[in-house]
């Protein structure tokens, strides 16, 4: 039990220590709001793109391309989305809240927390499977997110323009270029690969610090029941259902923890930005991000401890 506890602590504490550094950066005003926006944009457009390229270029496709894992994760995501969509439409009558709530339930912060979570448990040499899943899950998140918010602000959903925008996502571009170089056998000189590796190593820590510095609490008076529902769904209900199914389907080790990083992590920061831009309830979306991020330090620890205690990884 003690060793299981240590593994769970080692998986979660480093992530939230980095986020705490970001909270201190904000507290002591070392970066202002405009600077945070610029740094966040740089991390997203440059660092994440390089990270995706580097990790996929250095991977062994024979061991990291897991079709069963891809199919399970995609199907589970669609099932969660459909159930959330139907349930929230039935319960919540306000269209702006509907879009924000559905996103909060199905869309996690997999990109920011997935790789460090897997890396903390298994080591950085085992994160290739998780990186590969980012290239699959992120486009699905973007397409379903836009479809949801467009539906509830009454606009027409057009798949082709959205799909083109997804392909322009820096992470997807990095993944595609990395896969092309790998499959085509195009060598990258060590003098170039080394700095790319250094940027890759800095990406997750910097992104987590920026996430911590970006937290802003809003009023919860007008949407407390909706917020509580989203927190419980995102951190408890969805993980319980998906992880139970994953265990019965035989997923273990890195594959299982990758599913933890997809379905047990807090609401995606991108859901708040999209809610702001697409006439959804941005205050509710922002509170979902902040509160699930704060509480996930407990729930992720609990899920990791439970799975480790059951000898599932």
Per-residue pLDDT tens over the stretch 264-300: 999 987 787 778 777 788 788 888 988 898 888 899 9
pTM recorded for the entire structure: 0.82
CA pair distance 256, 249, nearest whole angstrom: 10
Residues, the chain: 313
pLDDT number for residue 154: 65
Look at the alpha carbons of 73, 79, 83, 86 in this order and tell me if their dihedral is positive or negative. Answer: positive
For 121-131, what is the mean pLDDT?
A: 81
For 137-161, what is the mean pLDDT?
A: 79
pLDDT band, residue 22 (cuts 50/70/90): confident
> Do 233 and 44 meet the contact criterion of CB atoms below 8 Å apart?
no
Q: What is the per-residue burial (b if ≥16 Cβ within 10 Å, else e) of 93-131?
A: eebbbbbbbbbbbbbbbbbbbbbbbbbbbbeeebbbbbb
What rounded mean pLDDT belongs to the chain? 85
Q: What proportion of the chain, given as a percentage, has pLDDT over 90?
A: 29
pLDDT number for residue 155: 62
CA pair distance 292, 267, nearest whole angstrom: 6
Structural domains present in the chain: 2-309 (1.20.1530.20)
Q: Find residue 34's DSSP bridge partners.
A: none
**CA neighbours within 13 Å on the CB side: how many for 188?**
19
CA pair distance 145, 258, nearest whole angstrom: 21
> Do 258 and 111 meet the contact criterion of CB atoms below 8 Å apart?
no
* pLDDT of 230 higher than 80: yes
Per-residue pLDDT tens over the stretch 72-114: 999 999 999 999 999 999 988 888 899 899 999 999 988 778 8
Q: Please, which residues have CB within 8 angstroms of residue 121's CB and are 6 or more apart in sequence?
A: 7, 10, 11, 257, 304, 313
SS (H, E, C) the chain: CHHHHHHHHHHHHHHHHHHHHHHHHHHCCCCCHHHHHHHHHHHHHHHHHHHHHHHHHCCCHHHHCCHHHHHHHHHHHHHHHHHHHHHHHHHCCCHHHHHHHHHHHHCECHHHHHHHHHHHHHCHHHCHHHHHHHHHHHHHHHHHHHHHHHHHCCCCCCHHHHHHHHHHCHHHHHHHHHHHHHHHCCCCCHHHHHHHHHHHHHHHHHHHHHHHHHCCCCCCCCCHHHHHHHHHHHHHHHHHHHHHHHHHCCCCHHHHHHHHHHHCCCECHHHHHHHHHCCCCHHHHHHHHHHHHHHHHHHHHHHHHHHHHCCCC
* pLDDT of 2 higher than 60: no
Look at the alpha carbons of 129, 130, 133, 139 in this order and tell me if their dihedral is positive or negative. Answer: negative
pLDDT number for residue 13: 82
The tokens describing 160, both together, are: 């082709």
Q: Find residue 108's DSSP bridge partners.
A: 267
CA pair distance 156, 251, nearest whole angstrom: 39
pLDDT number for residue 157: 63
For 29-51, what is the mean pLDDT?
A: 85
pLDDT number for residue 156: 65
* pLDDT of 221 higher than 80: no
Q: Among 60-64, 109-113, 303-307, which is the least confidently predicted range?
A: 60-64
For 150-167, what is the mean pLDDT?
A: 73
pLDDT number for residue 256: 94
For 27-49, what is the mean pLDDT?
A: 85
pLDDT number for residue 96: 86
* pLDDT of 218 higher than 80: no
pLDDT number for residue 88: 94
| 112 closest CA partner among 129, 134, 128 | 134
């Amino acid at each position: 039990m003690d060793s299981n506890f240590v593994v769970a602590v080692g998986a979660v504490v480093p992530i939230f220590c980095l986020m705490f550094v970001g909270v201190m950066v904000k507290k002591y005003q070392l970066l202002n709001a405009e600077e945070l926006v610029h740094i966040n944009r740089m991390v997203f457009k440059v660092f994440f793109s390089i990270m995706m390229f580097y990790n996929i270029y250095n991977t062994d496709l024979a061991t990291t391309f897991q079709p069963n894992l891809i199919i399970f994760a995609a199907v589970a995501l669609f099932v969660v989305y459909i159930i959330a969509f139907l349930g929230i439409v039935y319960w919540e009558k306000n269209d702006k809240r509907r879009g924000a709530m559905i996103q909060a339930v199905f869309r996690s912060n997999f990109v920011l927390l997935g790789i460090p979570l897997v890396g903390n448990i298994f080591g950085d040499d085992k994160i290739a499977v998780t990186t590969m899943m980012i290239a699959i899950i992120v486009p699905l998140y973007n397409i379903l997110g836009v479809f949801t918010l467009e539906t509830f602000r009454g606009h027409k959903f057009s798949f082709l323009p959205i799909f083109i925008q997804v392909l322009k996502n820096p992470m997807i571009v990095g993944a595609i270029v990395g896969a092309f170089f790998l499959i085509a056998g195009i060598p990258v000189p060590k003098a170039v690969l080394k700095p790319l590796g250094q940027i890759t190593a800095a990406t997750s820590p910097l992104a987590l610090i920026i996430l911590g510095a970006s937290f802003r609490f809003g009023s919860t008076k007008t949407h407390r029941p909706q917020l509580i529902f989203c927190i419980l769904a995102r951190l408890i209900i969805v993980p319980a259902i998906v992880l139970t199914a994953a265990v019965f389907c035989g997923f273990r080790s890195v594959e299982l923890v990758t599913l933890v990083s997809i379905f047990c992590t807090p609401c995606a920061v991108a859901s708040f930005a999209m809610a702001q831009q697409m006439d959804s309830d941005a205050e509710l979306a922002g509170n979902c991000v902040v509160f699930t991020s704060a509480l996930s330090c407990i729930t992720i620890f609990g899920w990791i401890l439970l799975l480790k205690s059951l000898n599932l990884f």
